[in-house]
Amino acid sequence: MNYINNKIELEKNGYSVLADLYSDSEVSQILDCIENNEQSGNSFMKTKDLFAIRQLIKNVPDLTSLLFNKKLIELLSDLSESQYFLTKAIYFDKPSESNWFVAYHQDLSISVDRKADLENYSNWTFKKGQYGVQPPIEILKDTITIRIHLDKTDKNNGALKVIPKSHLNGIVRVDTKDWNIENEFVCEVEKGGAMLMKPLTLHASNRTINGKKRRVIHLEFNKHNLTEPLAWLEHYGIKTST
């Protein structure tokens, strides 16, 4: 496989969609691995509208070999010549009866191991036992998000909507509406496919209205070390072959 066109589209538009990253069998193995794992502790969140697992690799380590198949490794290799590593892994299950929606926003926070008073690190949070912070913009610009879809996802069950090229405008104050909703694009993804995204791309999702699930594994990759004494809360190297 060659993913150079996806790289070009990601850099130009702030997103790209691809199919067949995982076979139906691989998707089933991933779901079985998650469902058979003990689900307790701060990293697990469950409501009627959402089930999520934060620090997914730490909490479900057997997923590593299933997620990093040959195609994902080739994709990461094609996306960048730099040595990227995994900095965030979350599992989202948007149940079929969910009425949960997310308004337009950018992903401006990273997860770190501690709090420190540092220049260009702002908007600190502390949720579910972990620190979040908005890092220097260069780190956000160089983040690559890969959303692995474990169900077919379209506009009726919460596919992400994006504003193409909005990542080129830096950090946007969403309340100013300094962007054009008419350019909105719905990223429909097949089961086993993936959506690539820049975190500065404005994105949103609607409520589920067709009674179908939307299970997604959200992975973020970066190549930068943080300003000491900060370190990424999650930091997993990527092997170069399966």
* pLDDT tens-digit readout, 13-35: 999 999 999 999 999 999 999 98
Give whole-number Cα distances, 184 to 130, 164, 203, in Å: 33, 7, 9
**Is residue 165 a contact partner of residue 142, using CB atoms and an 8 Å limit?**
no
Q: What domains appear along the chain, each with residue ranges and CATH number?
A: 4-222 (2.60.120.620)
Cα gap 232→215, rounded to integer Å: 25
Give whole-number Cα distances, 12 to 52, 113, 172, 179, 185, in Å: 31, 33, 18, 17, 14
Pull the structure tokens for residue 222.
Answer: 């970066």
Torsions phi, psi for 166 (to 5 deg): -70, -20
According to DSSP, the β-strands at 185-186 and 214-222 are unpaired
Number of other CB atoms surrounding residue 208 within 10 Å: 22
Torsions phi, psi for 11 (to 5 deg): -70, -35
The string of pLDDT tens digits covering residues 133-190 is 999 999 999 999 999 999 999 999 889 999 999 999 999 887 766 667 778 999 999 9
CA dihedral 16, 19, 21, 23 (to 10 degrees): 160
pLDDT given for residue 242 in this prediction: 45
Nearest alpha carbon to residue 199 among 135, 149, 153: 135
Element (H, E) at 91: strand 85-94
Measured CA angle at 134 (ends 128, 140), to 5 deg: 115
pLDDT given for residue 102 in this prediction: 86
pLDDT given for residue 15 in this prediction: 98
